[in-house]
Structure 1
Amino acid sequence: MVKRFGRTSFTLSIAFAAVLSAAGAAVALPQLSNGWPYAPTPQHTDRTYTLAAVGDIACEPDTTENAGNPAQLKCGSASLGGMPAEFATARQADAMHPDLVALLGDEQYEVGKLNDFEQSFEQAWGGLKMMERPSPGNHEYYAYTKHGDNEAAQNGAGYFGYFNGHDQNGTPYPQGQAGNDTSDEQGWYSYDIGNWHVISLNAECRSAAFGNDCSTTGNGVLARETQWLAQDLHADHAACTVAYWHQPTFSATTSTADAPDPAAPGAGSPEGTAAQAWWKLLYNAHASLVLNGHEHVYARFRPMDPNGHFDPKNGIPQITVGTGGEDLDTVATSGGSYTNPNLVTAQDQAFGVMNLQLKPNGYTWDYRPVQAGPGFGSTALSYHDSGSGTCRG
């Protein structure tokens, strides 16, 4: 694979004097950077750039280190996409000749150990590494104790070790491709590409790294991230803005039994509920688009306000692309219709990557599956979703 690094421009750092909270009060903050340690490259605001976007990618490798883990969770399991699926999506992304790749979390299962990144994710997606702009998922931060497994939480150690690099002892460097890895910051950052401002956020607040605190107000790490987002958006003068993180604010897979109002924010997910505060900030800043993973489906929603109400004039569309190769979930339906009334289209039968064209004053998207999921035939590959949107900034 050819590495095409260096064709975009990035925001280096943002000095924090004050930030507006969701309620509009000024909150003093310390000096913080956005975690991007590399020099910017020339920006071309009249160009169209290709951003490949996907999450939920790499199966757990069947290594000596994982010998005690259940076989059904490892690469080679009949219930997973496995290595063939992650190689297929990597080839699909590479064929797009992307300028950058937005990774939407859960890059590596089951708990994102560094060795697992190196033995699975790296094998398929390593050729695109210098173009990858990741956000983490729950499988990089949380323990995994389901299906007979009992793996300890990594709290991002393998994720940062892989993307930021590490010393000879395996300790992740505190700055790098995945943003800052410190007690105060956990890998949120922003960058510019053409006429677009792009924001990568970390929603993994139910972890020791976040003090198990999902509050977006106060002095916790997630509150600090939310304050950073407010200031980043305040300083953003780009014509178009897109943000991405792992757990979606609005669900395509939650059943009505679990969520009496399927359009309500954060159904089945404390992280998604916390991210409603981010949605409010993005909505007020006229952001153009939100991308998520976590739900292992492709799902595109109508433009919505922060409460999940259809808002064709000022709302933000959400696109979930959790189809990177690990496994698949099921889109929730009721009476032949999508359970979430804001869901426009979805597919839960195949793996694929979304091609997002970032234009000077708008965008187009094109999602085509590349490999059928376990138990599905070639007809799963006939699905196609494409369209266009304009910027509101």
Structure 2
Amino acid sequence: MRSRTRKISLIAAGIVAASLLGAAAAVAAPGIGNGWPYNTAAKGDDAKTYTLAAVGDIACEPDDSANTANPAALKCGSPSLGGYAAEFATAKQADAMKPDAVALLGDEQYQVGKLSDFEGSFEQAWGGLKFLERPAPGNHEYYSYTKKGDNEAGQNGNGYFAYFNGHDQAGTPNTSGQAGNDTSANQGWYSYDLGNWHIISLNAECNSAAFANDCSTSDSGLLAQETEWLASDLQNNHQQCTIAYWHQPTFSATTASTATVAASAPGAGGQEGQVTDDWWKLLYANHATLILNGHEHAYARFKPMDPAGQYDPKSGIPEIIIGTGGEALDALATNADGSYANPNVVTAYNQGYGTMKLTLKQHSYAFSYAPALQGAGLSASALDYSDSGSGACKG
């Protein structure tokens, strides 16, 4: 079954948000000065410049009654995690961008994304931007968590969809909403437009019960149906500029080379990244502009690449990993001489937490990234990093 492309109206979402959130929300009320973010030009105004904030891997697990049995090291307040301070810092940074939309790159809520976890942690920091948020799910929203003494059952997206799409009195998620459809035929993939930009949110969590643990992109399973939907969505897209995002990156910055998979090879970071190389092939053939991912708790920007991970300055797609939303930080994969294990990494950073700002113009884009809070035990000098640049659409 092929799902119809969902065109999400940011203007309509803004009207709902204004009526529901009122003056208590982080966003400005209508009629105040700049009127952000709802007094934007009409949807489809290709000449307008849009701001897209992007980040993943955000909220710590709340230390509440629902998580009493879980190890303290995995919950908000643990000295090894970014905790509330980090997720509030990145939310404040995103809020200051006055975005037209917020692309969330998965693992919005740790450890398994129960609805109560979303309400007790993610909501506290990022709830003021909720009706601008366009999420993709991550492994922590779908899979069980059995590491470090924990033993939590996987949610298969239930808490994720209940939070972003709403739910009934019993907590059952609505079947559709801003996180896409929650049905047996569609687990939350969708697309939306910002002016001349077509933006696609995908679900890579195929090794879950919701996908029947089937990670094939070519059989009759759900991931294959999603891949077929992506091909159709791209074929029917008439916008010049395209961004796609999902959680696990196809190309890695924090996973060192192994005896069988080089750091620059598709899927060096895991099974999901390997199978989503088929998405790369579709996006490459349709001249996509950018691919955004999370999962690796670092910031990394890659050279334009083809689907095999080869540098391709003419037709390649840059991948940007922005897994610095607040949860924790990973080690970067480097060689003995200090160079990046993946030679396509242009720059990478794992000393703090931050959100990327993408400025989407009619035929081009600009990007900027800077940390909002240093990692645990690091000095303020960790905030000295920044990355910025620009590029053109290829469509």
Query: TM-score surpassing 0.5?
Result: yes
What is the distance in 1 between the residues matched to 2:2 and 2:296? Answer: 35
Aligned pair 1:353/2:355, yes or no?
Answer: yes
Q: In 2, Cα distance between the equivalents of 1:212 and 1:188?
A: 17
Q: Name whichever of 41-50 and 95-104 sits farther off.
A: 41-50
Name the residue aligned to 2:231.
230
Equivalent residue number for residue 384 of structure 1: 386
* Equivalent residue runs for 1:133-144 within 5 Å: 133-144=134-145
CA distance in 2, matches of 1:316, 1:286: 8
| Equivalent residue number for residue 147 of structure 1 | 148
* Partner residue in 2 for 1:34: 5
Paired position in structure 2 for 1:81:
82
Stretches of structure 2 lacking an aligned partner (at least 5 in a row): 14-41
The equivalent residue for 2:183 is 182
Q: Is the 8 A contact 2:365 2:391 kept in 1?
A: yes
Q: Which amino acid aligns with 2:155?
A: Q
Aligned partners of 2:136 and 2:266: how far apart in 1? 20
CA distance in 2, matches of 1:59, 1:329: 15
Distance in 1 of aligned mates of 2:54 and 2:320: 10
Letter in 2 for 1:354: M
Question: Helix, strand or coil: the match of 1:306?
Answer: coil
Q: 1:51-70 to 2 correspondence within 5 Å?
A: 51-70=52-71
Query: Which runs of 5 or more residues in structure 1 are unaligned?
Result: 1-29
User: 5 Å matches for 1:186-265?
Assistant: 186-257=187-258, 260-265=261-266
Distance in 2 between residues matched to 1:168 and 1:251, nearest whole Å: 41
Query: Corresponding residue for 1:163?
Result: 164
Aligned-residue offset at 1:256: 2.1
What is the one-letter code of the residue matched to 2:354? Answer: G
Question: Cα distance, 1:133 vs. partner?
Answer: 0.2
For the residues of structure 2 that align with 1:322 and 1:214, how far apart are their CA atoms? Answer: 23
CA distance, structure 2, for counterparts of residue 34 and residue 374 of structure 1 = 42
Deviation at 1:43, TM superposition (A): 1.4
Distance 1:378 1:235 in 2: 48
Q: Which amino acid aligns with 1:366?
A: S
Number of corresponding residues: 364
Counterpart residue identity of residue 363, structure 2: N
Secondary structure of the equivalent of 1:50? strand
Shift of 1:209: 0.2
AA aligned to 1:55 is G
Tell me how far apart the structure 1 counterparts of residues 355 and 383 of structure 2 sit (CA, whole Å). Answer: 12
Is the 2:7–2:193 Cα contact (8 Å) retained in structure 1? no
Q: SS of 2:54's equivalent?
A: strand
Query: In structure 1, how many angstroms separate the alpha carbons of the residues matched to 2:7 and 2:198?
Result: 14
AA of the residue aligned to 1:358: L
- Cα gap change, 1:111 to 1:36, in 2 (>3 Å): farther
Kindly tell me: are residues 258 and 124 of structure 1, through their superposed partners in 2, closer, same or farther at Cα, counting changes over 3 Å?
farther
CA distance in 2, matches of 1:73, 1:36: 37
Aligned to 2:293: 292
TM-score (norm 2): 0.90
Q: Which amino acid aligns with 1:152?
A: A
Measured after TM superposition, the shift of residue 31 of structure 1 is: 5.3
Indicate the residue corresponding to 1:372 in structure 2: 374
CA deviation map 1:159-182 (0-9, x unaligned): 000000000010000000100000
**For residues 245 and 70 of structure 2, what CA distance do their matches in structure 1 show?**
31
Shift of 1:260: 4.4
1:311 paired residue number: 312
Cα deviations by residue, 1:98-147 (Å, 9 ceiling, x for unpaired): 00000000000000000000000000000000000000000000000000
Distance across 1 between alignment mates of 2:344 and 2:7: 35
Contact persistence 2:3–2:185 (CA under 8 A): no
The one-letter code sitting in structure 2 at the alignment partner of 1:353 is T
- Deviations 1:289-330 (CA, angstroms, capped at 9, x unpaired): 000000000000000000000000000000000000000001
Q: How far is 1:222 from its partner? A: 0.3
Kindly provide the amino acid, as one letter, of the partner of residue 282 in structure 1: L
3-state SS of paired residue (1:264): coil
Deviation of the 1:218 alpha carbon: 1.2
Give 2:117's aligned residue: 116
What is the percent sequence identity of the aligned residues? 66
